[in-house]
Amino acid sequence: MASPAAGRDAGPAAALAPSANNPQQHPKSPHDDVGDVGPVVEAAPDTTTSDLQIEAEEVGTDDNDSAYAESAQSITTSLKSSITSYKYENGRRYHSFKDGSYYLPNDEDENDRLDLFHHCLTLRCEGKLHYAPIGDNPQRMLDLGTGTGIWAIEMGDTYPSADVLGNDLSPIQPSLVPPNVRFEVDDIENEWVFSAPFDYIHARYLAGSLKDWPRLLQQAYRFTKPGGWVEFQDFDMRFYTTSGEFRPGCAMDRWSAEIIAGIRSFGLEPEPGPLLEGWIRDAGFENVSHKLLPIPVGTWPKNKRLKEIGAFDLVQFLDGLEAISLRILTTVRRWSPEEVQVLLVDVRKELRDPRMQAQHNFHVVYAQRPLDS
Per-residue model confidence as pLDDT tens for the chain (373 residues): 444 444 444 443 333 333 333 344 444 443 333 333 444 444 443 455 556 788 888 766 555 555 555 545 333 344 334 334 455 455 554 545 444 445 565 667 888 899 999 999 999 999 999 999 999 999 999 999 999 999 999 999 999 999 999 999 888 899 999 999 999 999 999 999 999 999 999 999 999 999 999 999 999 999 999 999 999 999 999 999 999 999 999 999 999 999 999 999 989 999 999 999 999 999 999 999 999 999 999 999 999 999 999 999 999 999 999 888 988 999 889 999 999 999 999 999 999 999 999 999 999 999 999 999 9
Burial class (CB in 10 A: 0-12, 13-18, 19+), 272: buried
- Sequence length of the chain is 373
Does 225 fall in a domain?
Answer: yes
Using CA atoms, how far residue 261 sits from 99, 238, 267, 330, 345, in Å, is: 20, 12, 10, 13, 20
CA 119, distance to chain mean position in Å, is 12
Does 269 fall in a domain?
Answer: yes
pTM of the entire structure?
0.78
Check: CB of residue 291 under 8 Å from CB of residue 44.
Answer: no
- Where are any strands of DSSP class E within 193-311? 198-204, 224-235, 286-296
Using CA atoms, how far residue 96 sits from 85, 145, 329, in Å, is: 6, 16, 20
Does 309 fall in a domain?
Answer: yes
Does 89 fall in a domain?
Answer: yes
Residue 350's identity, in one-letter code, is E
CATH code of residue 256: 3.40.50.150
Does 317 fall in a domain?
Answer: yes
Torsion of the alpha carbons at 177, 182, 188 and 192, rounded to the nearest 10: -170
The number of domains in the chain is 1
Does 373 fall in a domain?
Answer: no
Does 33 fall in a domain?
Answer: yes
- CA 107 – CA 115 distance, rounded (Å): 12
Range of the domain at 110: 5-368
Does 264 fall in a domain?
Answer: yes
